[in-house]
Amino acid sequence: MEIEALKNITGSGQDESGVPQDSRVWYRPLVGCVVMASGASRRFGGGRNKLLEEIGGKAMVLRTADVLSAAGLDPLIVTRSKDVCAAAGGTYGCLLHAEPEKSATIRNGLSLLQERYEKSGLSMAGCLFIPGDQPLVRNESICRILAAFTADPGAVVRLGYGGRGRSPVIFPAPMFPELMKLTGEQGGSALLAPSPIALDLSAKRSCGLTEGTEKPPAVCSRIIVTEAEDASELMDADTPEELEKIRMIFR
């Protein structure tokens, strides 16, 4: 398993050189990161791409990516929009594709990350997926789900509130083949439903299941929900009204 050494910044104090006073080095398994930004923004209306709407003077998708980067991840934005890739500039990696299905965003992003890491002689222990319109998620929450995954890298780890799991989600590497089998509008949650799609044997073993198990309660038996500090962290901006609520909270 590949291990990364990261600086986890939890506070804002800095010394004269600009180095945070309370930063520390910690270690975790290598986790990839896909920012899902391929939606058509149909509910948003007006022909506007909601991901480019500004939150505090910056495109919403970049606000989301900034939080992930601050937690030590290397976000890959996966989108069908040339404008979104242009906004990412050289700050974040961006994969432009033309497939409209939600599952294509997952497959294309995961495939590219696996290819890139393998060329470097590395392999991911897991991959985090998050919608690009979740800009209120906090650095502390991302760090907590990474810590939970580090403690149990065979589990699915989700951010949630009130015990209900939402996004972002970290899927462990043994589930990658199943993510690559998703079709149409299936998202990763399809693998956690009561009647998931077929498992391969390696995924069964990773979740404590045996060969011949039929219709297990979930693809992976260990699903950890890590509590967000506030319910607003889970908000997304599907409509202009929701965007305004997010802007009010961000201020």
Mean pLDDT, residues 240-250: 89
Token pair 């985090």 in the structure block, residue:
128
Q: Are 77 and 61 in contact (CB under 8 A)?
A: yes
Q: What is the pLDDT of residues 130-153, one digit of tens each?
A: 999 999 999 999 999 999 999 999
Q: List the Cα angle 10/51/232 in 5-degree steps.
A: 45
The mean predicted confidence, pLDDT, of the chain is 80
Instruction: Provide the residue range defining the domain that includes 166.
Output: 3-250
> Which CATH number is 136's domain given?
3.90.550.10
Task: Determine the pLDDT at residue 214.
Answer: 39
Mean pLDDT, residues 162-187: 92
Cα Rg for the chain, rounded, in angstroms? 18
Torsion of CA 67, 40, 232, 6, to 10 degrees: -20
**pLDDT bucket at 110, cuts 50 / 70 / 90:** very high
Does the reported pTM lie above 0.85? no
Per-residue exposure over 156-195, b if at least 16 CB sit within 10 Å of its own CB, e if not: bbbbbbeeebbbbbbbbbbbbebbebbeeebbbebbbeee
Count of structural domains, the chain: 1
**pLDDT bucket at 101, cuts 50 / 70 / 90:** confident
